[in-house]
Structure formats: C-alpha cells, structure tokens
Structure 1
Amino acid sequence: MGSHAPRLDVVDTLRGFAVVSIMLLHNIEHFDLYYVVPGAPAWLAALDKIVWEVAFFLFGGKSYAIFALLFGLTFHLQSQARQERGEDFRVRYGWRLLVLFGFGMLNSMFFHGDILTIYAVLGLCLLPAARLRDGALLALAAVLMLQPYEWLVLAGALRHPDALIGDPVSWQYFGRINDYLAGDSVLRAWAGNLTNGKLAVIHWSWENGRVFQIVALFMLGMLAGRRGLFAASANAMRFWRRTLLAASALFLPLYTIRTLLPDWVASAAVRRPLGTIVASWSNVALMLVLVACFVLLYQGGALTRALRVLAPLGRMSLTAYFTQSVVGSFIYYGFGLGLYKVTGASVCLLIGVVLAALQCAFCAWWLRRHAQGPLERLWHRATWIGARRAA
C-alpha cells in the first residue's frame, strides 16, 4: 500500500523554485570545486563578484531551508493521509527515510554536498515529534531555532574572551577536496566524496548550526501542514501577510548585525558562536520573506501560470536533485569536462539557468506520460515493499 497525500500546487511550485535556486548556487560554486579563473578581464571579475554575492544573499542558506520546511510539511500530509485510513505511518516512514539515506549516499558519490543523507537521519526526529500537540511542537522548534549549543559555546567564550580558537574542523577536510575533484580519476573522486567530502559536510553542518535549524524547520513545516497554511484560504493568506511583515522587520537588523559583527566584536572566541547564531536567524528570516512572497503571489492570474512552470520540477525534486549532481560533476570536475578551469560565476550562472530550463522541460514531458518521476516511483515502491497491496 502507498501513501497518497493531497497535492498542493503551490507546494510543488515552491519546491521547484528551491531546486532551481540550489542548482544555480551549486553551479557558481563548481559543485564545491572552488577555483578562480586566472587572467579574467577586470569587468568580468567584477561581474563574477556581483553574481556570487547576489546569489548567496538571495539563496545561500535559504534554499535548503525551504526544502527542510517542505520536508516536514510532506511528512504531515503523508501521515495524515494514512491516519484517515486508520493506519500509523511512522514505522513505514522510518523505513522510507532509510531508503532516502541510500539515495543520498549514491548522490554523495557525485557531489559531497548532498543534503538527502542529512535529512534522512534528522528526519527520524519527526517520528516522536508527530505525537506532540501544536503548542509543545512550536515550543520545541523555537528552542532548537535559538541554537542552544552555540549559546553554551558563547557563554564559555564570554568567560574567556581572549582564548585562542583554532580553525573549524571542517576546513582540514575541505582543504583536501581539490586534490581529487580536479584529478582525472572518477573512482578517486567518488571515493573522496564518500569519505573526506562527507566528513567535511557533516562537520560544516554542525559548525554552522544547520543541525538544530533543520530539525526546527521540519517541525515548523509539520505545524504549517496541521494549520493548513499552504491552502488557498483567507486565514492562510492573512498568516503569510503577517509573516512577510514580521520576517522583513527581523531580517533587516539581523543582517546589519551579521555584516557589522567583525567590527563590533574583537574577540574571535565570542564572535564565532555569535556569528553562527545571527547568521542562522538572518537566513531563516529571509527564507520566510521568500516563502511568504511566493505564496502571496501564487494566487491566480498570469504570474501564477508563469510560476506553475516550476511545479513539475517540484514533483520530481528527488530525480532533479540527483540528476543535477551527476550532470554538474561531469561538467566541472577533472574527470569530466573540467570547466572549473575556465568558468567564473557569471558563466556558471548561465550554465545553471540552461540546465534548470532543461530540467523543467524534461520533468513536464515525463509527467505527461507518467504519474511520478523515475526516482520518485522507485522510492515509492521501495517504501511500500512487503506491504499487502501497492498504491
């Protein structure tokens, strides 16, 4: 048997938007193979800098947050669909996460920055959280969003502000990445991504507060599903208008503090945890601005029809996410075309736009012929393997 959750067009479209923005960021980063093209004209170097800064201002730390929010929402919709049939989805969902972890490890071979494995592990927190009432769930999400570990580190730093701190642990792993990604051996690149690269991403996620933030966003997504906040209702629109105003009011001072923190705080020991806290809050605030704007604009008319182009990509987000890793690694890494040597952020942005357009076209074509994307179908069948009847 399967889990047929009701589809919300705005959610599919928003997920498609998140996939596209993630794809653009990965392209301008050469899929984490950082390299500055030598000898570029001054105008192109300046343009590359603008493209980089604007892209990361808009999407860095926000796109994955949208994904996390919708991950929790989808869990609620699937659980609700099974609950209405008198079934408990949690055990089956645990297995579903294990299957997702397998997809993530396969994806990690091509791109170590894979988020699927992290979501699969942290998604287990949704199983006990599903039994919490709304108030308790919101309170727990708020505590996690506050970054409790970083506050403990900050308290220690305030007692010893002159303490010397070393580089983040992730740096020692990231420092080795170019050794195998720039080489011409695909097997060495795969092995490096699954070992050194995976450790780099795990340490980086912890150091930047992503672990607590992801779980909090999962829970907020589940709450959004319970309250019907992505439905086309007057209450939902009122909520998103208020969210837009509140998130905008929060983002401006948070971003200012984040920008000026190096000038305001001399102690590196104090500045590091404080910077992590403020950056995480700033990213979530701008993410909520983006989501609120998206939902409010998705209310009919020509703009809705234009945005709906992204819906097939959102419905096939697993396939699209995996495909962009395979194609991107071939385009930029040394075992493929090796374009990292000759492409700056501006050219990579154009490549990303073309790839995103091709992805959208392919997903639309596929879904005219099939009910699900190829990996989505495989995930669905693996989720319900051994069940008495398939959905």
Structure 2
Amino acid sequence: MTNITLNLKSPRIEVVDALRGFAIMSIMLLHNVEHFEYYHLPENFPAWLVAMDKIVWDSMFFLFGGKSYAIFALLFGFSFYIQNDNQAKKGNDFRGRFFWRMMLLLVFGLINTAFYQGDILTLYAFLGLLLIPVVNWSNKAIFITAIILMLQPLEWARCIYYILNPDYVAPPNLSNGYYESIALFMKNGSFVDYVVGNLTLGKIASLLWSWENGRFFQAPALFLFGMLLGRKQLFNITDANQQFWKKVLLYSSILFIPLFVLKTHTVDVIARVTLSNKLTIIFTSWSNVAFMLVLVSGFVLLYQKDSVNKVFSKLIPFGKMSLTNYIMQSMIGSFLYYRYGLGLFEYTGATYCLLIGIVLFFIQLIFCTWWLKTHKQGPLETIWYKATWISWGK
C-alpha cells in the first residue's frame, strides 16, 4: 500500500524549487537594500558612494521590485495544483485541508509581521482561499478569470468614473496615514513597540497598500496562472515546453518595453493626478508581470543548459526551505537595521546593504544545504506539513 501511495505522488520538479529559491533570494536582497522598510538616507557619504547607492537602488527595484513577489505568487498557485492533484489521485478532497493550511499560513504570516511589517504571507493566506471554489473549473474558465483579474477591473472602473466626473479629486491613500504613524514608533521604539506596531498599524498599512496598488487582483490572477502551468505540466523538461517558454520570453520582452514606458511617463502625459495615478497603478502591474515572465522564462530556459544548471541547481535547497528562509530573513534583517537591534539603517546605504544581503544569502544557503542532508524539509516546512495533516480523529 505504501508503494502505491508513493507512485501516485507527482515527483518534485527541480526547476520550480530552484526558481522559488531565486525568488526568495531576490526578495531578501531587495529587503536589505530598503532596510526592511526603514527608509533612511545616511548623511556625510562621499559623492561617489551616493551615486553608487542610487545606481544600486534603481537597479534592484528595476530587476526585482514587484517581480520577485509575482514569481512567488505564480509558484504559490503551482504548488496548490501539485498538492491538490496528489490528493485527487488518492481519491481525497484537498479543499478542507487547504483551508486549514491557509489558516496555518496566516499564523506564520503574523509571526513574520511581528518582525517585518511588509509581510506577504498573510495576504497570500487570505487570497489563497479564492483557489478553493475554482479548483474543479475548466482550464478555459480559469484562464478567462485570471485575465479579467489581471486587467485590474476596479482601477479601470475608477478611471472611467474620473473621466465622467472631471472635477472629482481622489482623496489621499489611506495607507499614507498609517505609514506616517509607523515612522514614529520606528524612530524611538523598543522591540515590544515594534512588535505591537507591526501587528496593528503595520499590518493595516501593508494590506491597504496592497489594495491600493492592485495586488488584491494581481495575486489571485497569478495563483490561477500558476495552477494552469501545473495542469499543462509546463515546467517539465520537454521540447514542446522549451518552445513554449521561448515564446513567453519573446512576447513578454516585447510587451515589457511599451508597458514600462507607459508606467514611467503616464504622469508626464496626463496632467490630472487623480487619473494618472490610477493608470500608473495599472501599467505598473502589467509591466511587473511582463518582466516577471521574462525572468521566469529566461530562468527555465537557462536551467536546461548544463553549464548554467550547475549554478542554478544550487538554489534548490534554498527554494525547498522558502518559508523558513523568508521568516528567518525578517528576524535577522530587522535586528540588523532597526533601532532595537544594531541600528545599521543609520550607517548603511544601498550599496553596503546589498553586500550585507549577499553575505546573508550565502549563510542561509549553506544552512539550507546542510539541513536538507539529514531532513526532508526545512524546520518551518516540517511544522506546516505536520500541522496541515494533523489527524482530526475518525
């Protein structure tokens, strides 16, 4: 019976683990560069270092800002498909367990929020529930729904309203006030002040920002696209899939250029701030997804080359322990940069922070590689798995 059960499970796809590791690595580097959202420019830096900091900052946000999170969202949907498919092959309905799994993820997210207000796990825990009612939909229905969500219908509705009401002026974003309050306790707070502030003001600010910037629509769309990638088995190494990813790379590269121009220059072309702000949100969302697809398709194609595979495959342990790494980096990063810890935000610009992030990445990578030599999963992954499949009795 045990052997039959094992045979029914879908094998792990290494490129997905490596890609997840790449996403977590880039998230970590980006969070370090921005002091884990403690924004501060050190004084008395030489001119060359200020210029270097600006190059590093702009480059990191161009490469990873909004893209790493999008890769993570895509793979979140893919993982849901794998888990649901494994249970379906055994004749089990995974939906109830997945609901419970998302409640557990919410707990992990709140733990992470205590250290870092910009946590995305809580957002995924809530929005991930939207996968439950669509699990048995046809590919066509899922694709159409994903496209509608990706188009940002709410923002377009607002744009139409603003055009029809030319005198209307939109109020400031609600998240702005919360971020102003957060800045106060971040300047003078103790560790307890940080924890309380992050779990209250910080969590509200983060969720409001996600709502105001279209992520409540973008994330579920990416979840659904990730499901479709799983259903179509497009991460498997085949000649047909290689052609698919080549087309994705070509089309997403072509689309990214005009979308990036629109994102960058809408405010210059449309003088009315109320309207240009909403259009910028739409074009930013699309631009980020287009570049995310460039990164994903490029990664998948390069992974199939033996010379590159030797390097990229080193990320597999890092990807397998993504939950552990994500929360661990928040704990370490907040201690390094916040006032209750070493307070490095006062002394480090983007260049130094990038170097710190690279060092931390290699430390975590070494730890992950060592840990997985004697364990099947990371520490938090094991807890999540065992808690997910806890027995409720007969």
1:100 pairs with one of 99, 102, 105: 105
Which position in structure 1 is the counterpart of 2:14? 9
After TM superposition, what 4+ stretches of structure 1 lie above 6 angstroms from structure 2? none
2:261 pairs with one of 249, 252, 256: 256
Matched residue SS, 2:37? coil
Q: How far is 1:261 from its partner? A: 0.9
Alignment of 1:266-305 (within 5 A): 266-305=271-310
Matched residue SS, 1:31? helix
1:225 pairs with one of 230, 238, 243: 230
Q: How far is 1:163 from its partner? A: 2.6
Letter in 1 for 2:59: V
Q: Structure 1: which 5+ residue stretches go unaligned?
A: none
Q: Say if 1:161 and 1:269, in contact at 8 Å, map to a contact too.
A: no
Which position in structure 1 is the counterpart of 2:315? 310
Which position in structure 2 is the counterpart of 1:343? 348
* TM-score where L is the length of structure 1: 0.97
Q: How far is 1:388 from its partner? A: 6.8
**Structure 1 residues 64 and 166: CA distance shift in structure 2, 3 A:** same
Which position in structure 1 is the counterpart of 2:174? 169
Q: How far is 1:295 from its partner? A: 0.2
Q: Structure 2: which 5+ residue stretches go unaligned?
A: none
Q: How far is 1:248 from its partner? A: 0.7
Q: How far is 1:4 from its partner? A: 5.5
Distance, in Å, in 2 between the alignment partners of 1:279 and 1:253 is 11
Task: Give me the CA root mean square deviation.
Answer: 1.5
Letter in 2 for 1:292: S
Q: How far is 1:146 from its partner? A: 0.2
Aligned pairs, how many? 389
Mapped pair 1:56 → 2:56: no
Q: Say if 1:184 and 1:336, in contact at 8 Å, map to a contact too.
A: no
Q: How far is 1:167 from its partner? A: 2.0
Letter in 2 for 1:220: F
Deviations 1:346-373 (A, max 9, x none): 0000000001111111000000011110
Mapped pair 1:381 → 2:389: no
Q: Say if 1:182 and 1:338, in contact at 8 Å, map to a contact too.
A: no
Mapped pair 1:33 → 2:38: yes
**Structure 1 residues 234 and 199: CA distance shift in structure 2, 3 A:** same
Distance, in Å, in 1 between the alignment partners of 2:340 and 2:9 is 41
Distance, in Å, in 1 between the alignment partners of 2:318 and 2:189 is 32
Letter in 1 for 2:176: W
Which position in structure 2 is the counterpart of 1:147? 152
Q: Say if 2:267 and 2:277, in contact at 8 Å, map to a contact too.
A: no
Deviations 1:60-81 (A, max 9, x none): 0000000000000000001111
Which position in structure 2 is the counterpart of 1:216? 221
Distance, in Å, in 2 between the alignment partners of 1:6 and 1:120 is 25
1:133 pairs with one of 126, 134, 138: 138
Distance, in Å, in 1 between the alignment partners of 2:215 and 2:14 is 28
Letter in 2 for 1:260: H
Which position in structure 2 is the counterpart of 1:324? 329
1:185 pairs with one of 187, 190, 213: 190
Percent identical among aligned pairs is: 49
Q: How far is 1:300 from its partner? A: 3.6
Mapped pair 1:371 → 2:385: no
Letter in 2 for 1:211: F
Distance, in Å, in 2 between the alignment partners of 1:261 and 1:306 is 40
Distance, in Å, in 2 between the alignment partners of 1:184 and 1:148 is 40
Mapped pair 1:241 → 2:246: yes
Q: Say if 1:79 and 1:89, in contact at 8 Å, map to a contact too.
A: yes
Distance, in Å, in 2 between the alignment partners of 1:134 and 1:381 is 31
